[in-house]
Amino acid sequence: MYPDDTSQGTPEGIPLTDAQAATEARRLIHDAYQNDPAELTATTYRDPTPVPPYGSAPPVAQPGRPPMSQRATDASALMLTGSVATLAAGGSVSLVLAVVGTLDPVTLGVAGGGATTVLFALGALIRRAGRAAGDAVRPEIHHHYTGPVTQQHTSLTTHTRGLTARTHNHQR
């Protein structure tokens, strides 16, 4: 027994002595076993009335993200990440368009055509280098064999009726 514990004490908050606590415990146990099983009442009760809010203030949405499922949280984080990425792309496009607005059409055509021409030239150069590397890597190989030759012939027969097809492979 703790001196500050008033949950087991008297209504005035005075703790019980050991003898008083033992007497109270015996009384509670005796009362619990004196009831007839037919007279026992339910030990649980569900109160159907709604729980009143604390205080008189109406409920207010709390700051931060609203509670949601893990899948919805993941999708939300993905969308937020995507919006940050589009912010950078949109800002750079806006900057380019602002600069392009100050140029005359001939300068714009030369700049745009020059970049496209360089890209096409690089693509052609890469294709040619790939073909040259492929030709240099593949050596010409000739196989010469002596001896009897055995050939195996396989015929393929396909029958289709409606949506089903049947294939037969025959070896001779």
Give the pLDDT band (50/70/90) at residue 56: confident
Question: Residue 11: what pLDDT?
Answer: 62
Q: Is residue 162 part of a domain?
A: no
Whether residue 22 is contained in a domain is answered as: yes
Q: What angle do CA 71, 75, 81 make, to 5 degrees?
A: 145
Does residue 15 belong to any structural domain of this protein? yes
In whole angstroms, what is the distance from residue 85 CA to residue 64 CA?
A: 22
Q: Which segment, 15-29, 40-54, 89-103, is predicted with the most confidence on average?
A: 15-29
Output the pLDDT for position 37.
Answer: 61
Confidence class for position 23, pLDDT limits 50, 70, 90: very high
Say how far apart CA 76 and CA 64 lie, in whole Å.
Answer: 13
- Of 101, 123, 145, the residue at which a domain comes to its end is 123
117: in domain: yes
Q: Quick one: pLDDT at residue 2?
A: 46
Give the separation between CA 137 and CA 151, rounded to whole angstroms.
32
Q: How far is C-alpha 165 from the chain's CA centre?
A: 42
- Residue 25: which domain range? 1-37
- For 70-99, what is the mean pLDDT? 87
Query: Distance between CA atoms of 96 and 90, rounded to whole angstroms?
Result: 10
More confident residue, 19 or 13: 19
Residue 133 domain-assigned? Answer: no
Per-residue confidence (pLDDT) for residue 4, from 0 to 100:
47
Q: Write the DSSP symbol of residue 138.
A: S
In a domain? residue 10: yes
How many folded domains does the chain comprise?
Answer: 2
Kindly state whether residue 60 falls inside one of the protein's structural domains. no
- Asked if the structure places residue 64 within a domain, the reply is no
23 within 8 A of 30, measured Cβ to Cβ: no
Report the pLDDT value the prediction gives residue 33, as an integer from 0 to 100: 78
